[in-house]
Amino acid sequence: MILTIDVGNTNTCIGGFDDDDKLIFESRIDTDRYRMADQYAITLSDILRLYGHDGREIKGAIISSVVPPVTGQLKEAVEKVCGCKVMTVGPGLKTGLNIKIDEPASLGADMAAVAVGAKEHYPLPAIVIDLGTATKILAVDKTGAFIGGIIAPGVKISIEALASRTACLPLIGISSEPPLKSVIGTNTIDCMRSGLLYGTAFMVDGMIEHFEKEMGEKCTVIATGGFSSAIKPLCKSDFILDKSLIMTGLLDIYKKNAK
């Protein structure tokens, strides 16, 4: 089994792929900057047992991380539990991705992984919409090159900003179902949910339209990330929902570097 781990600002996603490259389990835990390696090791052991596995089955592992303080602790934890080599997405690791941006070394590990997943498994050109803590929309051209994208505040950041920067608006939760049949809310909570979810959906629709205009052709559009299920039904654009795209991309990168 190959272990794939994506460390995000809010959640850390852990996946396990069998020898046929099938994702046999996927789990999410809170990303905790103050958790020590032994604590992550205990959590990882518990997750493996929960899905009927143990560290001895792990042949290799790969981590993408946008939270540097967690990367080393989690790498050490995997080594303790699994006793295998752990790759970290970054400079020196082959991705097979031609990165055509101003500063290629500045590309986030998560963005590289989803771009590789799109390049390897979907028709090109492609647009990837990653709806996590931040909303990221990425463009991969018909040659498989990463040519850029946008980064905007995600739904979670927007919820927290509304609650913390206003006197009367509450901190609300977002379900996976559309909050309203109408965009126009009739109470404070529904107004907030409509603004957050429909606002994100309309931005996504607009961005897809302008990305395709600038790229000069119709693109395959793939959505991923924790809020993708909530946003997709509200969009007019037709796109593919692949919530495990980053896990697949990490496996692809692992295989390019495994000896």
The active-site residue out of 54, 102, 110, 252 is 110
If one counts every other C-beta atom within 10 angstroms of the C-beta of residue 60, the result is 18
Beta-bridge mates of residue 136: 130, 151
Q: Angle between the 109-121 and 245-257 helix axes, to the nearest 10 degrees?
A: 90
Residue of 136, 112, 137 whose CA lies nearest to 256: 112
Spatial contact of 252 and 23, defined as CB atoms under 8 Å apart: no
The distance from CA 58 to its chain's CA centroid, rounded to whole angstroms, is 23
CA dihedral 221, 224, 230, 204 (to 10 degrees): -40
CA distances from 86 to 40, 106, 162, 233 (A): 15, 22, 39, 38
Q: Is 238 a catalytic residue?
A: no
DSSP H helical ranges for 126-186? 155-165
Which amino acids are annotated catalytic?
110
